[in-house]
Amino acid sequence: MALAKDYDSVMARSNEIMKEALGLDYTVFESGSVAFDYEALMRSTNYTIEEINKIQSRTGVGNTPLLELRNLTALARKYAKPGYGARIFVKDEAANASGSFKARRAACAVAHAKRLGYKGVVAATSGNYGAAVASQAAMQGLKSIIVQECYDSQGVGQPEIIEKARACEAYGAEVVQLTVGPELFYTMLSILEDTGFFNASLYSPYGIAGIETLGYEIAMQCREQIGKDPEMVLCTYAGGGMLTGTARGLLKAGCKAQVVGASIDLTGLHMASDSQFNKKSCTTGHTGFGVPHASDPDNCDTPRSAGRVLRYMDRYVTVKQGDVMYITEALAVLEGLEKGPAGNTSLAAALSLAQEMPEDQVIVVSETEYTGAGKHIQPQMTFAKHNGIDIRFGDPNKEDKPGENLILPSDPGLIAAQDMDLGHLRKSYIKKAVAKVASAAELTAEDLAYLADETRTDEQFVKETLAELGL
């Protein structure tokens, strides 16, 4: 008998569809309340970091260069007080097959799908992950379907997303393009059900485990090249996979570097708004993803997200859209590296944060990404201009208004990373987690310990937060 394919019917079958499409039963990790066994979920991949490295190396992924950005370091020191201005390094992830760190996720996920006997993979993504999955599927002999949230209701798509669709199709993927809205998850579920393909989700434990090699390599390469661990590792933060995987890899290498997330400040823009969809000039690495994913990580395309940043993030900072555009051009002009803007979100933050640190300390920016066509800053700014965005030089910290303007810093000294309130995000996470049970009175000792782990605090903080929230 044919299954009903209307929205409500498909969504009602989501857990069943996910179980078939992941080859993984998430219920075995659940407690029946707030807590779940996150580490058991990560162990369920059954891959060691050495095994993942072997999987990735077979398809041109991993072991990317660690480059010192001497000229940008000199620029940071120009604005720092004497003796300050940490050395800035970058992990050149554009050297991966498909041109971004997401090839690490895709290599692991696609290899696992092949191991389990799936004939193809599906991924819901408008970003670099689509190209990574398509590339890996081509290398490993599987079919691939990429579902993109691409257009507004007028059929207008952003040049960066259109470029990523082109890349996916070049690798042989079928690309399904949608308008912004709730149909993305429904469409992906329906395709998974119809094809029997593997859900190569950004948020599965296979995807996050694939990024652990990045953090591990950063630690090992720093020790080899400069004789010590970095003091700080900066990760562009959107959905949380990059930061989570990198942090876990650093820990597996015995490296205790401070892990800092960096997002573009798009305060005031709603990511699911049709009218605001094309008002943002950067499509990833921004607070429109970062803040919701921090406070509610399981709002994703798997029953539980393996990307859980509050467990690992020591600090969360934001920069402005204009800062990222500026530093992208500075990287090309001063260092001879033309890269896409996503990884340069962290680089803009690094230029600022380096000025807080002594000269003998080291910051590593965890990624670069490929650029070209619609991913270049010039078509992005041209698109912004066509959408009525005012582009000019000035002070981004005083004049920036997301959705209205794009302020390029009139002086690089104006690039300033702003701290987000992690305490507020932790409290927001606890509030949303507890809202999923009938009342806080139902919380067990296991739940309290879990919430402390999730927010990287302690049970006293959790209890005080519950009291403060009147729960």
- Please write the tens of the pLDDT for every residue from 173-188: 999 999 887 788 899 9
Please name which of 401, 465, 396, 407 lies closest in space to residue 433, comparing C-alpha atoms: 465
Q: What is the pLDDT of residue 438?
A: 61
Q: Which phi and psi angles does 304 have, rounded to 5°?
A: -135, 135
- pLDDT tens-place string over residues 191-201: 999 999 999 99
What CA–CA distance (Å, rounded) separates 46 from 49?
10
Average pLDDT score over the chain: 93
Which residues fall within 8 angstroms of residue 440, CB to CB, at 6 or more apart? 434, 466, 471
Helices (H), 44-154: 49-57, 70-79, 102-116, 128-140
Q: What is the pLDDT of residues 17-37, one digit of tens each?
A: 989 999 999 999 999 889 999
**Mean of pLDDT values over 256-261:** 98
Model confidence at 87, in pLDDT bands (50, 70, 90)? very high
pLDDT value at 114 more than 70: yes
Name 149's bridge partners. Answer: 178
pLDDT digits (tens, 9 = 90+) for 295-333: 999 988 889 999 999 999 999 999 999 999 999 999 999
Q: Do domains 44-54+100-205 and 60-96+210-419 have the same CATH topology?
A: yes
Whole-model pTM?
0.95
Work out the average pLDDT over 388-404: 96
Strand 120-124 relative to strand 143-151: parallel, antiparallel, unpaired?
Answer: parallel
Non-local CB neighbours of 107 within 8 Å, separated by 6+ positions: 55, 56, 59, 61, 62, 136, 210
Exposure string over 188-210, b if 16+ CB within 10 A, otherwise e: bbbbbbebebbbbbbbbbbbbbb
Q: Which tens digit of pLDDT belongs to each residue from 411-439?
A: 999 999 999 999 999 999 999 999 887 66
Q: pLDDT tens across 130-151, in order?
A: 999 999 999 999 999 999 988 8
Q: What is the pLDDT of residue 446?
A: 93
Summarize pLDDT for 259-301 with one digit per residue, the tens.
999 999 999 888 778 888 888 877 788 898 899 999 999 988 8
Which is nearest to 272 in space by CA: 155, 161, 368, 181? 181
Over residues 230-244, the mean pLDDT reads 96
> What is the Cα–Cα distance from 40 to 36, expressed in whole angstroms?
9
* pLDDT value at 372 more than 90: no
60-96+210-419 maps to CATH 3.30.1340.30: no
- What's the length of the chain? 471
Q: Measured between alpha carbons, how far is residue 442 from residues 71, 296, 434, 436, 466 in Å?
A: 56, 20, 9, 11, 12
Q: How confident is the model at residue 98 (pLDDT cuts 50, 70, 90)?
A: very high
- Mean pLDDT confidence for 203-221: 97
List the domain boundaries for the chain.
44-54+100-205, 60-96+210-419, 422-468
Range 241-253 average pLDDT: 97
Give, in words, the CATH class of 44-54+100-205.
Answer: alpha beta
User: Which residue, chain included where needed, has tokens 């162990």?
Assistant: 43
Whether residue 441 is predicted with pLDDT greater than 70 in this model: the reply is no
